[in-house]
Structure 1
Amino acid sequence: MPEDPLPRLRELCTALPETSERLSHGEPTWFVRGKKTFVTYSDHHHDDRLGFWCAAPPGAQEALVAAEPNRFFRPPYVGHRGWLGVYLDVPVDWAEIGEIVTDAYRMIAPETLIARLDEP
Structure 2
Amino acid sequence: MVHVRISSREGLAMEAAVRELAIRLPEVTEKVDSFGHTSFRVNDKPFVMMGEGGADGPVLSFKVLKTTQEILLAQKHFYKTPYIGHHGWVSIHAKNIADYSMLADYLLEGYLCAAPKRLVKQMQAKTQAQ
Distance in structure 2 (CA, Å) of the matches to 1:7 and 1:89: 15
Q: Which residue of 1 aligns with 2:37?
A: 27
TM-score for both structures, normalised by structure 1: 0.83
Q: Which residue of 1 aligns with 2:120?
A: 114
Structure 1 outlier segments of 4+, above 6 Å: none
Choose the corresponding residue for 2:67, options 51, 59, 74.
Answer: 59
The count of residues paired between Structure 1 and Structure 2 equals 116
Call closer, same or farther: CA 1:115–1:86 in 2, change over 3 Å: farther
Letter in 1 for 2:88: G
Contact 1:17/1:116, CA 8 A, preserved across alignment? no
Query: What are structure 2's unaligned runs of at least 5 residues?
Result: 1-8
Matches within 5 A, 1:1-120: 4-24=13-33, 25-33=35-43, 35-44=44-53, 48-66=56-74, 68-70=75-77, 72-118=78-124, 119=126, 120=129
Q: Deviations over 1:16-73 (max 9, x none)?
A: 110101112211111112x21111012215x62322111111222222111x222x11
Is the radius of gyration larger for structure 1 or structure 2? 2
Of all paired residues, the percent bearing the same amino acid is 25
TM-score for both structures, normalised by structure 2: 0.78
Q: CA RMSD in A?
A: 2.0
Query: What are structure 1's unaligned runs of at least 5 residues?
Result: none
Q: Which has the higher helix share?
A: 2
